[in-house]
Amino acid sequence: MFRIPIGEKALLSLGVLAVILIGLISYRMIDGIELKDDTLVIAHRGASMTAPENTMAAIKNAVDAGADWVEIDVQETADGKVVVFHDSDFKRVGGKSLTIWDAQSDQLPGIDIGSWFDPTFSKETTPSLLDVLEVCRDKSGVLIELKYYGHDQNLEQRVIEIFVWTVNDPIDISTMTSRGVDGLITDTPDTAFSVLAQRKKLKPSERLMLELAHIFGKRSRNLEQ
């Protein structure tokens, strides 16, 4: 086999070059690390790991955990009521083939959407947007995702007119519109807050070490230990 001889000086030069490149890459990574924690915790469909998603139980758990924002999904019923619900029908969470746009609002209290998660939530039914806003008022912001399945009639206008009164500050309205930036969407807001609280106790150098461990694929210690 033909081989190209490489002298010791050439190998040494390659080694030095590799060290320089690694150093430059590491410097750029470190330089881009944000050492100040300013992350909002947004509860995904409420605290949906502790209670069935988009139910009052999940919303209340998220608020009690101190979530900055609660993310929910809204749709219209057949009679034009804005309710909190994610899927197009009740098959997954209620065991019924009924679609949300064919349902009358007075039917919803009779459909159990909690037992699929755990029997203890058998009394959970589809809440109205107004119910959720009342629970979150003065405690957590509400990130509203409009769910379109091709059957909505006037969803945007109804959400803006019956319900915008809970947001009084113009800055809050602007923030809700552009929500999702610089935020942490989580199913377990209590856990997220626990981690953030512990990070506050760390020195900048300790936070830097955690970030470096992540960058280079090393297993860092769990913040909760």
53: tokens are 């998603």
Tell me, rounded to whole angstroms, the distance of Cα 33 from its chain centroid: 22
- In this structure, what DSSP letter does residue 222 have? P
What 3-state class would DSSP assign to 223?
coil
Find where tokens 């379109």 sit: 148
Among 42, 44, 61, 77, the active-site one is: 44
- Single out the catalytic residue among 33, 73, 86, 212: 86
Closest CA to 224 of 193, 198, 186, 188: 198
The CA–CA distances, whole Å, from 140 to 41, 69, 137, 163, 190 equal 10, 5, 7, 15, 14
In the residue annotation, 214 being an active-site residue is answered as: no
Structural Rg of the chain based on CA atoms: 25
- Is residue 151 annotated as part of the catalytic site, yes or no? no
Count of other CB atoms within 10 angstroms of residue 142: 22
Q: Rounded distance, CA 99 to CA 89, Å?
A: 4
Spatial distance between the Cα atoms of 1 and 157, rounded to a whole number of angstroms: 76
User: Catalytic positions, please?
Assistant: 44, 86
